[in-house]
Amino acid sequence: MAQVPLAIVSHKRQVCSLYKRALRNLEAWYDRRTDYRYRAVLLRARFDENRCKDMAESVVLLACGEKELFETKHYQPRFFTNSIGGIAFEREVECPDWMLDFWHPLEKAQYPEYFAKREQRKKEYVSLWEKQYGKSDPQDH
């Protein structure tokens, strides 16, 4: 379902997307930078050669380009580390705020301004919560 377009995509945007995906495919196939750059220049020349064609022919060329990209796709494409499909995608663990309450006082002493402001904000949050919802019942604790 991720590949289902939700909005109409213009022809120009489809061509730009095809070009970018073709460049990424070339990166996967050619490890040496000189080989990659040579193929990238040839690819750009192919795109520029068909730039000002009429719309009907452009649609056919776009379909042929998509088919060619599918047929020449690398068997193990490269992904950026943090992008979708990368090895570190969504692996950044963000520490919840309440974990800072369990820091040792010597650890908190290294950041005195931060923890002073944090304590002030915690008090403000508690007062706002009590103003909105009322004081908590001591029997609930």
Give the C-alpha separation, 50 to 82, whole Å.
Answer: 35
pLDDT for the residue 87: 85
Given pLDDT bands bounded at 50, 70 and 90, which one contains residue 2? low
80 lies in a domain?
Answer: no
Packing angle, helices 11-29 and 33-49, rounded to 10 = 160
Given pLDDT bands bounded at 50, 70 and 90, which one contains residue 5? low
22 lies in a domain?
Answer: yes
Mean pLDDT, residues 121-126: 94
Task: Give which of 50, 51, 29, 52 is closest to 40, Cα–Cα.
Answer: 29
- Residues 105 and 56 grouped into a single domain: no
Two structure tokens written together for 62? 């776009």
19 lies in a domain?
Answer: yes
Taking 60 as the threshold, does the pLDDT of residue 1 lie above it? no
- Residues 60 and 21 grouped into a single domain: yes
Look up residue 111 and give its DSSP letter: S
- Residues 60 and 15 grouped into a single domain: yes
Mean pLDDT, residues 22-47: 95
5 lies in a domain?
Answer: no
Q: Structural domain tally of the chain?
A: 2
Among 54, 71, 88, identify where a domain stops: 71
Domain of residue 117, residue span: 97-135
Give the C-alpha separation, 64 to 12, whole Å.
Answer: 15
Give the C-alpha separation, 131 to 133, whole Å.
Answer: 6
119 lies in a domain?
Answer: yes
Query: pLDDT for 67-107, tens place per residue?
Result: 999 999 999 888 888 888 888 888 878 889 899 999 999 99
The angle at the Cα of 108, spanning 107 to 110, to the nearest 5 degrees, equals 75
pLDDT for the residue 69: 95
Mean pLDDT, residues 11-16: 92
Query: pLDDT for 56-66, tens place per residue?
Result: 899 999 999 99
